[in-house]
């Protein structure tokens, strides 16, 4: 049975989607390198040549090479953004024997020292989405208090708008895992939707499979719908916006949500296979104004009918 579903919920990624990584990545990568040097008792700049060579090697291997965090199935391209790239460069240097230690706090320290600025249109876009009667929330791998604080500052002059925006952080979108037996959270209906997901899919443009069964991300989506008082499993009433296809959008898309891809800026440009997953080229844009246009198309009835699961 086919049904046209109303759009009610907008889910935003944070890093890269709502921030300008292209204005922060150089400082982030330089600080990350310095932190690795200190952890390995190396002089400042001692790793420069090896770091650059490893960076180029990882970049050339991506997207066929993936993120190896926690040594689990790779769940994003190895050079999709500077945060993943830095981890992979340090991991490669360790495998090569150039360093002994890839410190676990390197990301947090370099990230805090180099905050990527908001996209200039974010406040206006949030106001436009809420003004259209939509519920808006962030789901991010980043720590929630940091996002909350930045939203407080961004929307200081619009407290009513700020109260409308929900933040769920530390979402671990990169984790491929099942829903544990007896776990609190999604009810039987939600679990059934998750269990219909394929384990992975293959797409042209990368040799890696795209893993869909990301239980932590699924839990975060369900929690957000609960925070919004959604009456049921609400994927068909949801649009998810992100900048990395497999990390942010592949699972929601497989669950029946609408998706919008923010094209990444050089030198971390979106890969062709990511753009090829979109049914309509207008479902990708260079900034968030394209998301508002996408929303308006859906609200005007431009969304294709979706299969209603019985």
Selection from 198, 200, 195 nearest residue 179 by Cα: 195
Write down the pLDDT at residue 4.
47
Residues 256 and 152 grouped into a single domain: yes
- Looking at 71, 91, 113, the residue that finishes a domain is 113
Identify whether residues 34 and 135 lie together within a single domain: no
Asked if residue 256 and residue 215 are part of one domain, the reply reads yes
Domain boundary among 82, 113, 144: 113
DSSP string, 102-140: --TTHHHHHHHHSPPPBPTTHHHHHHHHHHTT-EEEEE-
Side-chain half-sphere CA neighbours of 52 within 13 A: 4
Q: Which residue has the tokens 């890269």?
A: 16
100 and 218 fall within a common domain: no
Which structural domain range is residue 85 located in? Answer: 25-113
Considering only the C-alpha atoms of the chain, give the largest distance between any 2 of them, rounded to a whole number of Å.
66
What integer pLDDT is reported at residue 304 of this predicted model?
45
Q: Tell me how many helices (H) and strands (E) the chain has.
A: 12, 10
Q: Rounded to an integer, what distance in angstroms lies between the CA atom of residue 154 and that of residue 145?
A: 14
- Is residue 92 domain-shared with residue 164, that is, in the same domain? no
Q: Which of 113, 134, 152 is the last residue of a domain?
A: 113
Mean pLDDT in each 10-residue stretch from start to end of the chain (310 residues)? 68 98 98 98 97 98 94 90 98 96 95 98 98 98 97 98 97 92 70 93 97 95 93 93 98 97 98 97 98 96 43
Residues 96 and 123 placed together within one structural domain of the fold? no
Q: What phi and psi values does residue 154 have, to the nearest 5 degrees?
A: -60, -40
Tokens describing residue 300? 């005007």
The two beta strands, 200-201 and 210-211, are antiparallel
> Phi, psi at residue 40, to the nearest 5°?
-105, 15
How far apart, in whole angstroms, are the C-alpha atoms of residue 242 and residue 259? 8
Under 8 Å between Cβ of 47 and 99: yes
The pLDDT score that the predictor gives to residue 73 is 83
- Rg of the chain in Å (alpha carbons): 20
Report the C-alpha gap between 6 and 149 in whole angstroms.
32
Which pair of structure tokens corresponds to residue 290? 């394209």
What is the reported pLDDT for 185? Answer: 60
pTM for this one? 0.93
CA distance 176 to 271: 22
Note the pLDDT of residue 244.
98
pLDDT at 289: 98
Buried b (16+ CB within 10 A) or exposed e, 15-31: bbbbbbbeebbeebbeb
Q: How many residues does the chain have?
A: 310
DSSP string across 206-267: -SS-EE--BHHHHHHHHHHHHHTT-SS--GGGEEEEESSIIIIIHHHHHTT-EEEEEPPPTT
Instruction: Check residue 310 and give its pLDDT.
Output: 21
Instruction: Report the distance separating Cα 37 and Cα 162, nearest Å.
Output: 41
Q: Which tokens is 63 given?
A: 């997207």
How many structural domains is the chain composed of?
2
Instruction: Answer yes or no: do 168 and 225 share one domain.
Output: yes
Q: How far apart are CA 13 and CA 16, in angstroms?
A: 8
Nearest in space to 291 (alpha carbons), one of 141, 134, 143, 158? 134
Is residue 225 within 8 A of residue 218, CB to CB? The reply is no
- Tokens (6 digits) for 129: 């989405």
| Measured distance CA(33)–CA(113) in Å, rounded | 13
Q: What is the CATH number of the domain that holds 158?
A: 3.40.50.1000
126, 261: one domain: yes
* Pair 95, 156 in one domain: no
Per-residue confidence (pLDDT) for residue 270, from 0 to 100: 98
pLDDT in tens, 47-63: 999 999 999 999 999 99
């Amino acid at each position: 049975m086919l049904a046209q579903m109303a759009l009610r919920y907008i889910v935003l990624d944070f890093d890269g989607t709502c921030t300008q990584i292209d204005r922060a990545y150089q400082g982030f990568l330089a600080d990350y390198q310095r932190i690795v040097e200190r952890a390995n008792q190396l002089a400042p700049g001692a790793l420069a040549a090896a770091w650059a060579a490893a960076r180029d090697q990882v970049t050339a291997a991506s997207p066929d090479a993936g993120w190896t965090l926690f040594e689990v199935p790779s769940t994003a391209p190895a050079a999709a953004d500077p945060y993943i790239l830095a981890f992979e460069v340090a991991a490669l240097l360790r495998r090569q024997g150039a360093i002994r230690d890839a410190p676990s706090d390197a990301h947090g320290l370099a990230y805090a020292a180099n905050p990527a600025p908001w996209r200039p249109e974010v406040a206006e876009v949030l106001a436009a989405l809420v003004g259209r009667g939509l519920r808006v929330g962030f789901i991010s791998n980043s720590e929630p208090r940091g996002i909350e604080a930045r939203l407080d500052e961004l929307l200081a002059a619009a407290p009513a708008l700020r109260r409308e925006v929900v933040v769920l952080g530390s979402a671990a979108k990169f984790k491929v895992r099942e829903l544990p037996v007896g776990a609190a959270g999604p009810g039987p209906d939600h679990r059934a939707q998750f269990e219909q997901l394929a384990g992975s899919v293959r797409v042209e443009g990368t040799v890696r499979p795209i893993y869909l069964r990301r239980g932590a991300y699924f839990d975060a989506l369900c929690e957000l719908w609960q925070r919004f008082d959604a009456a049921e499993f609400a994927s068909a009433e949801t649009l998810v916006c992100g900048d990395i296809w497999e990390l942010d959008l592949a699972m929601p898309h497989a669950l029946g949500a609408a998706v919008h891809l923010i094209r990444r800026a050089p030198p971390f440009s979106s890969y062709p296979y990511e753009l090829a997953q979109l049914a309509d080229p207008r479902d990708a844009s260079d900034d968030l104004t394209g998301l508002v246009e996408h929303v308006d198309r859906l609200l005007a009835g431009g969304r294709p009918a979706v299969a209603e699961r019985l």
